[in-house]
Amino acid sequence: MEAFSALVAAADEAGIDPADAKNTAAAAGAGYAYGLAAIGPGIGIGYLVGKSVEAMARQPEAAGMVRTTMFFGIAFTEALALIGFVVFILLKFA
């Protein structure tokens, strides 16, 4: 939020409406926040589900156990992307 007040001060000097400058920066920042936060979990979940499918195909009798563990993994990996999404909401709307 300190970055925003510095930005507002700069915008004020340049004669731009400070609220406009803040909203623009917040919208751009929100987009980057979610986009960057989605990269890691995207790779992670892809790897995780791919390996799980491989395991299930090799050993169909262990499919139930693999599936449960896969959901744990997804839940933990996905949390990072979701925190990114929350940051997006906070930046954009708060």
Partner 1 sequence: MLAARGLVFPPINELLRWQDIFPTFNKIALIACLAAVLGIGLFLIASRADPMVAPTGPRNLAEQTIEFVEEGIVMQTLGKDGLKWTPFLLSLFIFIFLCNIPGILPIFQMPATARIAIPLTLSLLVWVIYIGVGLKHQGAAYFGHLLWPPGVPTALKPLVGAIEFISTIIVTPFSLTVRLMANMLAGHILLVTFALLTAALATAETSQFLLVPASILPFGMLVFLTAFEILVAFLQAYIFAILAAVYISNSTAGHGDEH
The Cα–Cα gap between 34 and 1 comes to 18
Per CB under 8 A, 28 contacts partner 1: no
Half-sphere exposure for 54 (CA within 13 Å, toward CB)? 6
Per CB under 8 A, 43 contacts partner 1: no
Q: How far is CA 44 from CA 38, 77, 78, 80, 84, in A?
A: 10, 7, 9, 10, 15
Stretch that binds partner 1, among 18-26, 38-46, 47-55, 79-87 (CB under 8 A): 79-87
Minimum CB separation of residue 71 from partner 1 in Å reads 6
The CA-based angle 23-2-19, given to 5 degrees, is 25
Stretch that binds partner 1, among 5-13, 17-25, 41-49, 80-88 (CB under 8 A): 80-88
In the complex with partner 1, which residue's Cβ is closer, 12 or 68?
68
The Cα–Cα gap between 13 and 65 comes to 62
Per CB under 8 A, 4 contacts partner 1: no
Binding residues vs partner 1 (CB under 8 A): 64-65, 68, 71-72, 74-76, 78-79, 82-83, 85-86, 89, 92-93
